Chains A and B, each alone.
Chain A
Amino acid sequence: MKGCKHYEDLFVDGLYDELTEEERKSLQTHLENCPQCASIYRQMSESLQVMNKRQQPEMGDEYWDSYWVNLQDRMNQDPTPTPKSSLGRIHQFLLSLRSKWVLIPVAATLLLVVGIYLGRTFFSPNSPTPAVMLAANEPTADQSVQSALSQHLQDMRPMLVECSNISSQQLNEENNDVVAIDRATLKKLVVQNYLLKKMVSENGDPTLKKMLNELELILTLMSNRNGNSQQDLLSIKDIIKNQDLLFKTRIYSQKPLSKRI
């Protein structure tokens, strides 16, 4: 025996005659045996009959004849929507992705990296005291990016210097890993570089973007090195030299805040 809730779900279909023959008979039988449901059903039906008395306004021919002209006026008044700003587009993109489960680990990783970065920047033994920090001006978003960039380039430089100083003799020595860098540091540099690339706006400094791309390539080569493969080190050395990366990283790590980022 089905309960009243089951039949209540059929009321709307019943009132608008959208039940199958079987459902209709079943509902009818229930209404005959359940005075409470029968009363609700009847009241709903009567309310719909009252709603049938509703009238719509008569708009004259004049109104319809001028409809197109009025609409054209409105279209001329309504400006075409302007393209969204970069921030708006990013926001829309993030909204479109919000239901994707893949964002959860990405968001968690980002949070972790930001936490590590903040911890290293503000709570390292050499960091300024809270009083000094309070005395300083509040950093803006651009200042934060600049500060993160300087930190990243300073972190990168030892490895770049080491790679660029490799001599041919060192490269010929077997089983001698001339550039020793642990995987955790490498991973951190990869993530930092990736985030900075994202932070640099689309219309930002092309040289900076190019430099970050070159650094990314170097980090990828370093990460994918097989054992003590010295061939990759040679490639890295060439990139550093050809792209003037030592010079560029020094300039950008000292560069004052500008609108380039």
Chain B
Amino acid sequence: MIQQTAHRDTIKFKEIVETYKKKVFYLAYDLTGHVEDAEDLSQEVFVKAYRGLKNFKGGAAIGSWLYRITFNAFIDQKRKKSVRPEGQPQERNERALDLVSTPEDQASANPEIFTESKQIQSHINEALDELSPRERAVFILKHYEGHKIKDISKILSISEGTIKSLLFRAIRKLQEKLAFYRPEQKEEAVQ
């Protein structure tokens, strides 16, 4: 009986993993900015989800539930890493960028455009690294995942007012870091 239940749970869980693995992985990538960390975080999310499967009431959507686990696991991971040395952000970002384009893309594309694109990716990742974990999570859920503010509030259990403040601060920080990409700055640089 117990074995049957465990087997049923595993089948149900495998379905969840197959459905959400890409979503969770890419959310983890957006949060961490690194493929290895995203892999680690996304697996950790599913491990936690499996352990919490019995407690999952099903009232909330599975997606939102997984998002919440991802967010909490990301905050935990950040806290642990703050006391653990790691590679230079610049170096880690470059490693991640190598995966953005395949070697074929790199060969076929205009080398100048490719270099510029790689540089933009690097600047964007550096700018994102400037955000606090909460600012980053809120920004990712809003800007890249396209959730409504009230939905983010439910997913992260944070008030809508706080979500808006975090978003405002996040965008202002990004604006500061990416100032040289703004049209008038570019024009000034050309002159």
Name A residues whose Cβ lies closer than 8 Å to a Cβ of B: 8-9, 11-13, 15-16, 18, 43-44, 46-48, 50-51, 53-59, 64, 67-68, 70-71, 74-75, 78, 80-81
Residues of B within 8 A of A55 (CB): 100-101, 117, 121
Residues of B within 8 A of A54 (CB): 121, 124-125, 144
Say yes or no: A64 contacts B29, CB within 8 Å.
Answer: no
Residues of A within 8 A of B7 (CB): none
Name B residues whose Cβ lies closer than 8 Å to a Cβ of A: 14, 17-18, 21-22, 25-26, 29-30, 35, 43, 46-47, 50-51, 96, 99-102, 117, 120-121, 124-125, 127, 142-144, 148-149, 164, 167-168, 171-172, 174-175, 178-179, 181-183
Best-surrounded residue of A8, A15, A51, A58 (most CB of chain B within 10 A)? A51
Say yes or no: A43 contacts B164, CB within 8 Å.
Answer: no
Q: With A and B bound together, what is the CA distance between A58 and B99 in angstroms?
A: 7
Residues of B within 8 A of A57 (CB): 29, 35, 96, 99-100
22 interchain pairs (CB within 8 A)? A11-B168, A12-B164, A12-B167, A12-B168, A13-B149, A43-B179, A44-B175, A46-B182, A50-B120, A50-B124, A50-B181, A51-B143, A51-B178, A54-B125, A55-B121, A57-B99, A58-B100, A58-B102, A68-B21, A74-B43, A75-B50, A80-B51
Known: A46-B183, A58-B100. 6 other contacts (CB 8 A): A18-B148, A54-B144, A57-B29, A58-B102, A59-B35, A71-B47
Residues of A within 8 A of B121 (CB): 53-55
Q: With A and B bound together, what is the CA distance between A18 and B51 in angstroms?
A: 37
Which 6 A-B residue pairings sit nearest by Cβ, starting from the closest? Answer: A57-B99, A47-B175, A50-B181, A12-B167, A74-B43, A55-B100
The B contact surface, by secondary structure, is: helix
Q: How far is the CB of B93 from chain A (nearest CB, A)?
A: 12
> Known interface pairs A51-B143, A56-B100. Does A64 touch B22 (Cβ–Cβ under 8 Å)?
yes
Say yes or no: A16 contacts B142, CB within 8 Å.
Answer: yes
